[in-house]
Structure 1
Amino acid sequence: MSGSPPPEERATADAEARAKEHAEQAALPYRWDQTIKDLDITISIDAKYKGKDVHVSISRNALKAGIRGQDPVIDGQLPHAIRVDESTWTLSPTAAGKDIEIHLDKQNQLEWWPHVITSAPKIDTSKIQPETSKLGDLDGETRGMVEKMMFDQRQKEAGKPTSDEQKKLDILEQFKKQHPEMDFSNAKMG
């Protein structure tokens, strides 16, 4: 098993990966953002278009959006299911024209999406840093699970034990103190 690269090399590789990912995402004909619960997509169009010119089709596992009579801007399978009844789209004026704004409500509200549609370039979901205020929107149990997942992810990246592994280590330490007569020199944690 090879050791991990020195921190400088890892930082350079991370920066290069982030730059490549940023360039891929910037090249998409739409912008998108997500929270743990939902996903928002923005497609900028010319101001001359009206709502009747826009075609948006949202289904549980697919999305198609664009201007009627033209190739769709987005057309493909979603990486995960959505709640169709909670998903919407609107047409909003902007300084430069209009935006088609699509809101998708995730079916599983505990996962980050690597892309909007499966044919698009992926982002590294392990690097997502959710806003604390967004975590506050979650109910207590869900928030606890998300915070634990985030803590465990950071621990793994740092080569440290996850919360469950730490709990086992703490129990073992407590047991050792209660039983000093026992030899734990060959004990293995699995």
Structure 2
Amino acid sequence: MSATDDYDRMTKEEREKQDKEDKLREQEEQAMLPYKWSQELGEVDVTVPVPKGTRAKDLNVIIGKKKLRVGLKNQEPILDGDLCKEIKVEDSTWTIQDQEYVLVHLEKVNKEAWWENVLTHHPKIDTRKIEPMDSKLSDLDGETRGMVEKMMFDNQQKQMGKPTSDELKKQEAIKKFQAMHPELDFSNVKIS
């Protein structure tokens, strides 16, 4: 039996408690890392603290397709390892801010996947629980906006115990068919 099966069998209260514990553990693990990171679907931003007064020429930064190293020259790297997913090296950059932070911007190759971690040997986050930053429906192209609005409508309908848009379409088609064929008996028809 998997952890997912156990989770599915939990009551709402047990799930909320488990989610809270998982989130707290995740926050503690992430706080222990020598950097902070955030992501959007297309990019990952990493902020690495360095000693005050650090200049770009003092740094050794390597950004590879699946590798990242940030550190001071002639010292052990602050972070060094394999990235959990591939990046577009030519679109990824780094800069120093206020002579005390190295800001690394990584462009994801797969812009439709959340990262569990930055480096494969670091603790993972639960990507199923990521809450993306708010975006406006007006920011989306017409087709995507239509899909999102349909999903939102269907979700609302389900929560209220009402039919989804697809179920409403089926019901409408059946009503039209019945109107076109009043001679047929529909009293024993089951609609699924």
User: For this structure pair, what is the TM-score category when the shorter chain's length is used for normalisation?
Assistant: 0.7 to 0.9
Q: Is the contact made by 1:33 and 1:40 (CA closer than 8 Å) also made in structure 2?
A: yes
Cα RMSD, aligned residues only: 3.5
**Aligned AA for 1:109?**
K
Larger Rg: 2
* Structure 2 gaps, min length 5: 179-184
Structure 1: where are the runs of 5+ without partners? Answer: none
User: What's the % identity of the aligned pairs?
Assistant: 31
Count how many residue pairs are aligned between Structure 1 and Structure 2. 176
2:171 to 170, 173, 181: 173
- Other-structure match for 1:4: 9
CA offsets per residue over residues 86-127 of structure 1, 9 Å max, x none? Answer: 110011116xxx001100111222221111111111111122
- Counterpart-to-counterpart distance in 2, 1:75 and 1:137: 40
CA separation of 1:184 and 1:17: change in aligned 2, threshold 3 A: farther
Give the TM-score, by structure 2 length: 0.73
With the length of structure 1 as denominator, give the TM-score of the two structures: 0.74
CA contact (8 A) 2:137 2:145 kept: no
1:36-88 per-residue CA deviation (whole Å, 9 max, x = no partner) reads 12111011011143212211111112211111222222222222221111110
Hey, what's the Cα distance between the residues in 2 that align with 1:128 and 1:67?
A: 32
1:111 matched to which residue of 2? 113
SS at match of 2:62: strand
Change in Cα spacing, 1:146 to 1:123, as seen in structure 2 (3 Å) is: farther
Distance 1:142 1:82 in 2: 27
Bigger Cα displacement from structure 2, 1-10 vs 65-74: 1-10
Find the counterpart in structure 1 of residue 18 from structure 2. Answer: 13
Instruction: State how far apart, in whole Å, the 1-side matches of 2:139 and 2:108 are.
Output: 14
Q: Is it true that 1:33 corresponds to 2:38 in the alignment?
A: yes
- Determine if contact 2:138/2:145 at 8 Å carries over to the other structure: no
Q: Is the 8 A contact 1:110 1:146 kept in 2?
A: no
* Secondary structure of residue in 2 paired with 1:9: helix
Out of 57, 69, 94, the position equivalent to 1:89 is: 94
